[in-house]
Amino acid sequence: MSSKLEKLNPARARLTITLAGADLVRYFDHSLEELGTQVQLPGFRPGTAPRALLLEHLGYARVEQNALGHAIPESYYRAVKEHSLQAVQQPSVSITQHGDYLEGKKDLVFIAEVDILPSVTVTGWKTIRLPKAKPLTADEKEVEQALGLIQKQRAPHTPVERPAHVGDKVEISFSGTVDGTPHEALQSKNYPVVIGTNVLVSGFEDQLLGMKKGEEKTFSITFPNDYPHAEFRKKKAQFQVTMERVQEVAVVPVDDELAKTLGAKTVSELKERVRTQLINEKKMFVEHKEVEFVLDKLAQKTKAVLPDSFIAHEKTRLRERLLAQLGSRQQTLEHYLTQLKKTEKEFEQNLFREAERNTKVGLALRFIAEKVKIKLEKDGDAQKVIEYLLKRARKNVNLT
């Protein structure tokens, strides 16, 4: 076997591999022997039938294909080892010359292209420092806001037959058309909304005021210029809405009774617990931001040609993670983008940039692991490198 290496770019290589005809004969004979143990010919035990009879029974094409299935991967991996390549995916293979498996008069030649681990340069990573952290506190306003959220969560919802008011939690079914054409993005069944929170397009919730359970209403809404779905911007939509349910949301007082249901004896104790929880949440948020800060700086200091397969794999991983999160909240990607006021094109661009950044960070962490002798042997080991970087970056920074 012989092979020739051509670097298409620092992250992709092309191997031209030639397997001698004599080697093909050996692969063919081995394949014939292997397949022969899997068939039963009359008068012969498996594996004892004459070669000519066995070949006639199996067919040349089947034996050749099986031989090829061994010859290509084995010679490819030998070539990768020979050229000290660090392949990061399965190769794309194309045969440029088929060989002779019976007499060995013709060699097999094939081309294998594969993404490889590129050379990586990370300059100045030892100088990454976190900005000085501010003391973590929770003021009275934040505590009151948190208590207000608890009030809403604990508030009973009572179905009512009266017209809907601001503050009521309602469920609506609606369908919308633009220029007479219905759109899936403008349809929903039993959609929950608290009137006055302005989560829907401007003007929509105003139309719900005064509607009773079971009542239907048709109205028009003009989408704003910055609406996430570009195809609807400045367009007038006709909506048909059915009020499925109207619920009055009661106000729960913040008193000792509420405190006791939450494990505190008094309102004062509840407030201190809420304050502690808010500070802990802030601390977790700060720690997350610190990691992102360090990794962003690391990406900026990293130079490498990124393998396309790395970016594609990471983009797929990010998308699947997001879809799983949305699914757990019974939310569609379309609704999520509407909340973010982003188009699908903008979403894809952001996803690519994040995948590109994560790929660069991954290569940088591998580079630093080699420098500081941290072994990356299993999933999760990269966290050791991140913790090492954070420890350095927190120098002279007190987060407690």
* 265 CB-side CA count, 13 A: 0
Render pLDDT for 22-33 as a digit per residue (tens, 0 to 9). 999 999 999 988
269 by DSSP, 3-state: which? Answer: helix
Q: What is the overall mean pLDDT for the chain?
A: 91
What string of DSSP letters covers 150-180? HHHHH--EEE-SSPP-TT-EEEEEEEEEETT
Amino acid letter, 61:
A
> Quick check: 397 pLDDT over 50?
no
> What pLDDT is recorded for position 47?
66
Over residues 378-389, mean pLDDT: 90
pTM: 0.67
From CA 283, how far away is CA 115, in angstroms rounded? 40
Render pLDDT for 164-212 as a digit per residue (tens, 0 to 9). 999 999 999 999 999 999 988 899 999 999 999 888 999 999 999 999 9
> What pLDDT is recorded for position 173?
96
From CA 129, how far away is CA 138, in angstroms rounded? 26
pLDDT over 70, % of the chain = 98
Residue 186, φ and ψ in degrees, nearest 5:
-110, 30
> Quick check: 339 pLDDT over 80?
no
The burial of 64, by beta-carbon neighbours within 10 Å (0-12 exposed, 13-18 middle, 19 or more buried), is given as buried
> What pLDDT is recorded for position 282?
95
Q: Yes or no: say if 358 and 314 are a contact pair by the CB < 8 Å rule.
A: yes
Kindly state the DSSP code that residue 379 receives in the 8-state scheme.
Answer: T
> What pLDDT is recorded for position 54?
79
